[in-house]
Structure 1
């Protein structure tokens, strides 16, 4: 079992903390503020999310793919006016028959590393923004799990946050050479518009899409995600837990297709 190999027992925490939890009002207020920061991709907040995803409908054999994205976020203060935010996405993958009768593959996928230079304070109009490079790192342990290519390109994020609402978008574009095991070079644009609402007791309702356009294949990938998360504590450790569903409005040839699942567990380390 994929999860047993990489994170035994980790996601069993979800049910424990979401049922029957309560906290004093001042703790709820602090948690709500942290949850709002967590909705901001360039907040000055150290966090380590583990995001489990399941999708089916691949290929001609109704293949499936389960992967956990390990997504550490590390802010570094450059000076009193600027922060540098490091955001990493490293996928741990279990997939079966995603290209016809292709069998099972287990291991690491390619890493996407993004660095955002972001002002400490929003603009006068309330815009929170960041910009910097996005890097594709060939960390896949098998040719079926990645492209074996180095890549790079620009990335930017912009958002507004007020009255519990956080909304905006993150974009990047990555090019690579045509070297490596992939049949074609990487040339892809990524768009992530998002809308979050956080309640005073630290529940967050999330709606977003993680859309990719592959310029080489001329194909769209458009999953629409709807999630609910709760920020709480286990002892002194702040965590956010939750999950939801996604629907593939558009996908490349051979899938994925239909509905998918997402569960998320995030460890927070506020200053």
Structure 2
């Protein structure tokens, strides 16, 4: 999507509906020129021999910056707040921050032959407040996203790779590839149906983590503030022996601040 303002005070309900659909479609674009602050709640179970479980909220602000008339810089941050129980055997309860992932995408304001794309660096920051909530490693690597929006459809993929370069020498190194192909359909009434996988391959242990997510979202206004409500389920098609298993759940609330 371009950086042009699409959110305005329309007087007719038909125009307002069209605007809501376009705004909802922007949320399907990870690098849209739109400030958004999602609070994404997740639940997964089946960890390890004691069937541990984990509840966590990902705070994921997305903030675009205009570099010049041709380019934007989009900042995407993921800060997890987690509560978990018996994640590593009988390891008890932990609550606090996890490690932060910071991505920066340089993206042209105008699509290239109809394709929206962005590339840049990704950083892993050891912000975890407990050693079972994070890896205690600093990491960095490349990230990129490519997508196409046509009519109500959005199809694309986001990927990154992170290598650790500093941190606790007694903790395992980070050498991981993240792949997120996605497809979504947005209706004229701003309902969005989405399917994706947020897969990670750990090159150190040669293990895949493959959750398949299906979500339904609705864009609404509360006192003129646009927000998106989302609910969904996921199935772990593949995970390490000590990882999550079976089905999980997702609930999200996203605040939008159109230009």
Q: Same fold (TM over 0.5)?
A: yes
Taking only aligned residues, the RMSD between alpha carbons, in angstroms, comes to 1.1
- 1:112 paired with 2:112, answer no
Q: Distance in 2 between matches of 1:257 and 1:234?
A: 37
Task: State the partner residue of 2:45.
Answer: 56
Tell me how far 1:182 sits from its aligned partner: 5.5
More strand by share: 2
2:225 to 237, 260, 267: 237
Tell me how far 1:236 sits from its aligned partner: 1.3
- TM-score, normalising length from structure 1? 0.90
Q: Deviations along 1:81-109, whole A, 9 cap, x unmatched?
A: 00000000000000000111110000000
1:163 to 151, 175, 199: 151
More helix by share: 1
Secondary structure of the residue aligned to 2:135 is: coil
CA contact (8 A) 1:195 1:207 kept: yes
Matches within 5 A, 1:166-185: 166-177=154-165, 179-180=167-168, 183-185=171-173
1:66 to 36, 50, 55: 55
Matches within 5 A, 1:125-164: 126-164=114-152
Task: State the partner residue of 1:80.
Answer: 69
CA contact (8 A) 1:72 1:89 kept: yes
Q: Deviations along 1:109-166, whole A, 9 cap, x unmatched?
A: 0000000000000012x11000000000011011110011110000000000011100
Q: Distance in 2 between matches of 1:239 and 1:78?
A: 27
Q: Report the count of equivalent residues.
A: 248
Secondary structure of the residue aligned to 1:140 is: coil
CA contact (8 A) 2:60 2:77 kept: yes
Tell me how far 1:26 sits from its aligned partner: 2.3
CA contact (8 A) 1:143 1:181 kept: no
Q: Distance in 2 between matches of 1:185 and 1:78?
A: 35
Tell me how far 1:253 sits from its aligned partner: 1.5
More off after superposition, 175-184 vs 224-233: 175-184
Q: Distance in 2 between matches of 1:35 and 1:26?
A: 14
2:206 to 209, 218, 238: 218
Runs of 5+ consecutive residues of structure 1 not aligned to the other structure:
1-22
CA contact (8 A) 1:89 1:113 kept: yes
Q: Distance in 1 between matches of 2:181 and 2:44?
A: 21
Runs of 5+ consecutive residues of structure 2 not aligned to the other structure:
1-11
Q: Distance in 2 between matches of 1:233 and 1:25?
A: 16
Tell me how far 1:255 sits from its aligned partner: 2.2
Tell me how far 1:181 sits from its aligned partner: 6.4
